[in-house]
Structure 1
Amino acid sequence: MISSWEQSSSKADKSDTKSRLAETYREAALSVTITTLTDVLAFFIGTWTSFPSVRSFCLYTGTAFVFCYVYVITFFGAVIALNHKRVKGNQHWLTCVQVKVGKKSCLYNACCLGSCSSEPPEPETGETESEHPMSIFFKKYYGPFLTGKWIKLLVVLLYGAYLGGSIYGCTQVKEGIDLRNLASDDSYVIAYYDDDDKYFSDYGPRVMVVVTDSVNYWDESVRNDIEACVQDLENINYVDRNLSLSWLRVYTEIAGSGLININSKDLFINNLPVLFQYFPSFEWDINKTAEGIAASRFFIQTVNVTSAVDEKNLLNQLRDRAKQCVVPLMVYHPAFIYYDQYLVIVQNTIQNVVIAAGAMLVVSLVLIPSPLCCLWVTFAIASVIVGVAGFMTFWDISLDSISMINLVICIGFSVDFSAHISYAFVTSGESSANEKAVGALHQLGYPVLQGAVSTVLGVVVLAAAKTYIFRTFFKIMFLVILFGALHGLVFIPVFLTFFGYLGKSLPITGTKTPDLKFFSKSRIQYVRFRSNKDCP
């Protein structure tokens, strides 16, 4: 918005606030609308995930984007208009008291008016003195440099290296969250898990097996069914059957020795104190009521659970065996809430990314007047996502619910850079693809760069945080902004000069538009001959 306002002075009456603001909205409003729609869609699609924390985050952030959009197209425009009236009246930027400007120095004018000069544009160049030096840099130096033939080749090779490294990183990505990462770096929990790994890494979680319904434990056939189910669970490779603990198994052995009789309901219930006399801890494993035993539990000890893959396999096998049991069983351990992530994290992530990328394509097709450029916007989104997911591996970030939230952010933020540049390219009135790319960089190169740098500066404080969650947010946000800006300022402008200019007609021939700078002299003569006119 600010960049479009600064450039509107060369396209509209500089003193007419209304015409300049109209020109500003003509240049910026649709681009802002495109990126807002895609951001909001990306986050609202993220609410379809099965993780409540991700749903809450995406709902909150998507709604925040809606309010930001309303603010930008209403209040912010009004502020720009009022500020322009203040500048025309030579009023101080803070006190609004009228000041003398004249031929004062740039520093004086900046301190008083908020800008170096408000002089009219130069007649020869059409540039305003207030135009930012970075915009001039993108127009005169960076744009022509990037559109050079050999530089384009170098950019293509650079992108090939980027894509190859990203794809390799995606194949090496790790799933799951280390429970240490849920605590602060100086928490005693870190030391606990370190010692646990050092001394007890051979042992996994001690899993609770719960009989969830009231069953007739005094019935021998029911006891045999329960024992068969427990043994079936013990036959899993991750379970050491010698470390299992079953009150019913011990109670049956005591009854088998002839000390007690448990073959009727009254005898079974009344003789339980004998079991508790020898094994007091078993009293905590039985929920006894007036009607009988409402529920009970046993324990099995898991071993050799050393990775997220082992945890996922353990959880699947335990639940499958419990589901096959004729007695209603449930297996549980507090750590299962984290293991559950591994079962759906990849599926949910891919689902959200694919659906969001499809939504981005639809929005781009509706609002950007070039189907091919819409495909390039979607390509940029996919490319940035692949890059972030791949380089997560190199920065020691696992795929979990925390990084999944940031990947949803990635979808929303990555579209901003490429959509702005692509829209400026296709709406440019220049005659060649290279000139269109230079014009797009001149118009939006500095705002894109400024947005990227300001966002990184806003989150860089999180790099020193003592919590894994905040550090992960910074790392992924940094990758998103870095790769998004790289696509918007380097890759997409170059690729658009190759493919983004196709599909439009030459004014003289009705054929698809080439960039005549890449044609040989004989081909230009051929075009002139076929058109029967002078080639412009």
Structure 2
Amino acid sequence: MPSKKKIKSPQQVWESVSTIFVHFVESVFFTLGIIVAKHPWRTITITWIFVLLSCIGLLRFYIEKNPMNLWVPPESDFYQDTNWYINKFGSNFRFQKILITANNILDPDTLMTVKNITSEINALQITYENKTYSVKDLCYKVPVVKLFTSNGKRSDNNSSSNSVQNNNTENDYVDLTLWVDDEYYCNFLESFSLACLQYDILDLWENDPNVIKNLTKHDIIRKLNDVKINPVTGHPVDYTTLLGGIQRDESGDVVTAKSLLTTWYTHVNMSEVDLNEVGNLVGTEDWVSVPLAMWESKFLSKIIHISSMTKSYSIYFEAGRSFADISGESMFCELDKLYIGIALMFIYVVCAISRFNWVEIRLTLGSVGLLNVGMAYISAVAWCSIIGIPFGPVHSSLPFLLMGLGVDDMFVMNACWKIVTTEQSHKSLPYKVGLMLKHAGVSIIITSFTDIVALLIGAITILPSLKSFCIYAAIGVFFIFCYSVTFYVAVFTLDQRRIQTKRNGFLFCYQHNEEFPISTDITIFQKVLSKFYKQIVFTRPGKFISIMFTLMVTGFSIKSLLQLEQRFDPKWFIPDGNYYKDFLNAHESFYPTQGYPAVIFLGEMDYKREFPQLYNVVQTFKNESYVNDLVTWVEPFHRYVKTNYNRDLKNSSSVTNLEFNNYLSRFLNSPFGGRYQINFRFTQPLHCGSAVSNITASSLMFTFLKFAGPDEYIPAMNQAKKLIKSANITSGDGYRSVWSKVFANWVTDEIIAVEVERNIELALLCVMMCTVILITNLQMCLWIFICVLLTIVNVLGWMQVWGMTVDIVCCIGLELAIGLCVDYSAHVGHTFLTINEGSRNDRAYKTVMSIGTAVLLGGGSTLLSLSLLSMSKAYTFQSFFKIFLLVIIFGLFNGLIFLPVVLSLVGPDGYKAKEVKGSPFEIVELNGKCLEVEKEMNNT
């Protein structure tokens, strides 16, 4: 009887599929290696033609400078609210500040010095397009309503010094101007001039130097505590808020102060600004016109000169452009360190792949290894430009990431070449190159493919800059792989021909005599590595200590990971040792409670009908614990109408629409409500004596308190948004929201922790799937996954120990870390599977001896290229260095210590041998060794 065919188990089926797939990939790389080695010059030419053609895409190269398109999720409320703000209001402030400190700032001589400084600032002029600009042309102007006496108090006796506070009585809103005819009053009002909005204590004496120099300390203190109305503009001001380091007497009056803050408000029409024209390469510049940016530059130059001349007091200062300037400089001024790092790595690579004789010094091959990275970088930028992906500020670090990955591939090929030349030294060069690429190619494609997948997972983020960077990096890794197996292999073949003909490594035209010795012995480094593994790692105590040490470090890392905070402060972008950081530190010291300005935006609605709801919203906001300095037009307008017209706006039926519009017009043109004109936008311009037109937008202003961290400010932001959105307002377009400039950072902080956690989990899952597909051995894939997971956990845990937090910079670094830490364990795991001869312990030893050097050298090259970043003052580079250092340390340990130890104990069997026929060469793979049976197809 014929025997029944034995049914294979699922495991046997998987092993069969695994073997077929692995040998198919190996045969593809073997064939590719032979073709490239037979036609190296043709391969180089085709590669360069492709690179040059790709450069056409650089015609569409575009650098994104708009911070809204770099750091803010386009689906976020902040993004939508900012665009609404620009469309409806279009105006923004830029602040120019001077902070002066002394033992007692309330001194006549000091105030005279302040007067001299402010006079010089006000006299600054710049020329742009044949037009001259001073601060008077660039400032935000407010109407001058001088209905007050020279001492800054109201001319009527009903006013008190507390008139600007929220606890005003109805009598404080008696408008005496209503006693005169509207036409007469409006003509009188239109005769008033405009003045620059600024907070300057010298306004108390109307900036008159003759008055200031004759002041006494008593005069200064009395005026400072009594006057609450700006004598220059007539607007309410509490001058004590401009002081820091205050001491008060028993009655609460200020008697001494150690600092004085002077602020100029400059104006920007946001709708007319092109950030791609005025922005910087880091994407940190705010909306600014070209003339204002030029004036701010001159302002900084002037105040730097003034501060260098002072001795008796200290001057700190900032301009609207300070953050953008310093953050941009800190990013690009450190590039010289990176260039030195490249030079050091070049020397390192040449030493690693060379032998110390005139023939085997591989300067050309080392140069081509770095050139390979440059080609991949140019190709990535070109193709990303073709598909319309903008270039961002973080992308400047991309060459160094690609350099680490590209050099790793070179070391892997070099390690495989040593194995091939040892076992197949008598074979032809193309065949040996094919064998080298056969073994190295599978390992390289595993690491490259997993890197690409991990980066593409990062590209699903909603943060635009991170998404763009991950796409650039993924395409760059793809081209690194392509050029490594073609261009680099072609140059490698030519360099090997040079060595075979014994031509000099410096002067190619010079050929040494035939007796010139070629090194074949094992290097000292390999001997040390062999003793380290034989006598330490693979001993029983060594294995026990390695596993226990891994568990202990991982336990400590998990404990630290649970304490890792999610926090980001833009001040971290500002390095120490510059004027702006000094200003921030001084401002934090003297004004520690100053919060964050915010705005409540209201869209088009029936304001008369919805006024009761708006009034209730204001009352609710006043009672919120996170709100300070609520300044709205709602309460003052309500009191103004009730006091002067005896009508209660909280009862919407008590007034008609026309009456409401007339009241609002008079209020906004009165001494009480003139400062609220900035809070309204109408379909027609506001005109004194006429009812207002339909309100298209309005705003209410308040200040968030100073918060300790994201645990406080993120709930406060969300609660404020929820409160205004839940208001019972049914008419109009329904738009209402809360906006603050600082929300740009808070929104990122809110999502970055979720983004990091999600991306890491998805990247680990996809890396596991990729290794299953490419390595095909489930047990090995599990161990590689565990090594990657341990590395990530250790990196996150020791980030907390190092004082780092989770922010957008660390998020980018961790995206790269996932791809990088896969490489170390994947190379070792794949090599272990290709070795069938001997016990698990012997196979583990052969694995680390064959591929361990390449993995170690690859980690060392990445570390060396980034080593000088440790001396950088830039927060971005410091963070990258710390993360990559942790990745390299833990990745190498898990890949070269923990994984080999585990494999020596419970490692899986290797790939099965298979006979491959039908090509000019017949290859029989037995016990992991390649034996060639070379035959000529046309020879019997």
| TM-score of the two chains, using structure 1 as the length reference | 0.85
In structure 2, the partner of 1:12 is 424
Contact 1:201 1:306 in 2 (8 A): no
In 1: Cα distance, 2:910 partner to 2:828 partner: 18
In structure 1, the partner of 2:224 is none
In 2: Cα distance, 1:371 partner to 1:323 partner: 52
In structure 1, the partner of 2:436 is 24
Q: Does 1:247 align with 2:633?
A: yes
Deviations 1:44-80 (A, max 9, x none): 1101111111101111111100110001111111111
In structure 2, the partner of 1:297 is 699
Contact 2:821 2:888 in 1 (8 A): yes
Deviation at 1:252, TM superposition (A): 1.2
Q: Does 1 or 2 have the higher relative contact order (CA < 8 Å, sep 6+)?
A: 1
Contact 1:203 1:305 in 2 (8 A): no
In 2: Cα distance, 1:32 partner to 1:491 partner: 21
Higher alpha-carbon deviation: 382-391 or 360-369: 360-369
In structure 1, the partner of 2:488 is 76
In structure 2, the partner of 1:256 is 642
Match of 2:623 among 222, 235, 241: 235
Contact 2:828 2:895 in 1 (8 A): yes
Contact 1:89 1:98 in 2 (8 A): no
Deviation at 1:365, TM superposition (A): 1.0
Deviations 1:281-314 (A, max 9, x none): 3111111222421111111222252112101111
In structure 2, the partner of 1:148 is 539
In 2: Cα distance, 1:452 partner to 1:341 partner: 32
Deviation at 1:382, TM superposition (A): 1.0
Change (3 A) 1:135 1:222: same
Deviation at 1:273, TM superposition (A): 4.5
In 2: Cα distance, 1:69 partner to 1:334 partner: 43
In 2: Cα distance, 1:61 partner to 1:273 partner: 60
Contact 1:434 1:497 in 2 (8 A): yes
Deviation at 1:498, TM superposition (A): 2.3
Larger-gyration structure (1/2): 2
Partner-residue secondary structure (3-state), 1:71:
helix
The one-letter code sitting in structure 2 at the alignment partner of 1:339 is: W
Change (3 A) 1:176 1:14: farther
In 2: Cα distance, 1:369 partner to 1:132 partner: 34
In 2: Cα distance, 1:175 partner to 1:337 partner: 15
Q: Does 1:364 align with 2:771?
A: yes
Match of 2:454 among 33, 38, 42: 42
The CA RMSD measured in Å over matched residues stands at 2.2
| 1:51-130 to 2 correspondences below 5 Å | 51-102=463-514, 117-118=517-518, 128-129=520-521
Deviation at 1:489, TM superposition (A): 1.4
In structure 2, the partner of 1:314 is 716
Match of 2:895 among 465, 468, 488: 488
In structure 2, the partner of 1:518 is none
In 2: Cα distance, 1:157 partner to 1:474 partner: 28
In 1: Cα distance, 2:532 partner to 2:889 partner: 22
Match of 2:601 among 185, 188, 210: 210
Change (3 A) 1:136 1:368: farther
In structure 1, the partner of 2:674 is 280
The one-letter code sitting in structure 1 at the alignment partner of 2:433 is: L
Deviations 1:220-275 (A, max 9, x none): x41111122233333332124xx211112211110010258783444444443543
In structure 2, the partner of 1:111 is none
Change (3 A) 1:314 1:191: farther
Match of 2:843 among 436, 439, 454: 436
Contact 2:844 2:900 in 1 (8 A): yes
The one-letter code sitting in structure 2 at the alignment partner of 1:225 is: Q
In 1: Cα distance, 2:747 partner to 2:532 partner: 53
Partner-residue secondary structure (3-state), 1:257:
helix
Deviation at 1:480, TM superposition (A): 0.9
Change (3 A) 1:63 1:260: farther
The one-letter code sitting in structure 2 at the alignment partner of 1:249 is: E
| 1:389-468 to 2 correspondences below 5 Å | 389-468=796-875
Partner-residue secondary structure (3-state), 1:278:
coil
The one-letter code sitting in structure 2 at the alignment partner of 1:245 is: V
Contact 2:834 2:911 in 1 (8 A): no
| 1:113-192 to 2 correspondences below 5 Å | 117-118=517-518, 128-129=520-521, 131-192=522-583
Change (3 A) 1:95 1:356: same
Residue identity (%): 24
In structure 1, the partner of 2:878 is 471
Deviation at 1:103, TM superposition (A): 5.0
Match of 1:326 among 728, 749, 752: 728
Alignment gaps of 5+ in structure 1: 105-116, 120-127, 506-536
Change (3 A) 1:256 1:336: same
Contact 1:45 1:356 in 2 (8 A): yes
In 2: Cα distance, 1:330 partner to 1:288 partner: 19
In structure 1, the partner of 2:588 is 197
Deviation at 1:182, TM superposition (A): 2.6
The one-letter code sitting in structure 2 at the alignment partner of 1:162 is: V
In 2: Cα distance, 1:266 partner to 1:333 partner: 33
In 2: Cα distance, 1:310 partner to 1:55 partner: 28
Partner-residue secondary structure (3-state), 1:206:
strand
Deviation at 1:134, TM superposition (A): 2.3
Deviation at 1:321, TM superposition (A): 1.5
The one-letter code sitting in structure 1 at the alignment partner of 2:557 is: S
Deviation at 1:395, TM superposition (A): 1.2
In 2: Cα distance, 1:285 partner to 1:187 partner: 37
In 2: Cα distance, 1:188 partner to 1:339 partner: 26
In 1: Cα distance, 2:784 partner to 2:751 partner: 28
In structure 2, the partner of 1:122 is none
Alignment gaps of 5+ in structure 2: 1-412, 650-654, 685-692, 730-734, 913-940
Partner-residue secondary structure (3-state), 2:805:
coil
In 1: Cα distance, 2:706 partner to 2:470 partner: 37
Deviation at 1:207, TM superposition (A): 1.8
In 2: Cα distance, 1:70 partner to 1:504 partner: 26
Q: Does 1:383 align with 2:783?
A: no
The one-letter code sitting in structure 1 at the alignment partner of 2:614 is: I
The one-letter code sitting in structure 1 at the alignment partner of 2:668 is: L
Deviation at 1:279, TM superposition (A): 4.1
Q: Per residue, is there more helix in 1 or in 2?
A: 1
Aligned length: 479
In 1: Cα distance, 2:694 partner to 2:557 partner: 61
Deviation at 1:369, TM superposition (A): 4.1
In 2: Cα distance, 1:143 partner to 1:208 partner: 69
Change (3 A) 1:260 1:179: farther
Higher alpha-carbon deviation: 229-238 or 440-449: 229-238
In 2: Cα distance, 1:503 partner to 1:28 partner: 16
Partner-residue secondary structure (3-state), 2:708:
coil
Q: Does 1:351 align with 2:764?
A: no
Higher alpha-carbon deviation: 493-502 or 248-257: 493-502
Deviation at 1:143, TM superposition (A): 4.3
Contact 2:834 2:910 in 1 (8 A): no
| TM-score of the two chains, using structure 2 as the length reference | 0.49
Contact 2:836 2:910 in 1 (8 A): no
Change (3 A) 1:278 1:310: same
In 2: Cα distance, 1:26 partner to 1:136 partner: 26
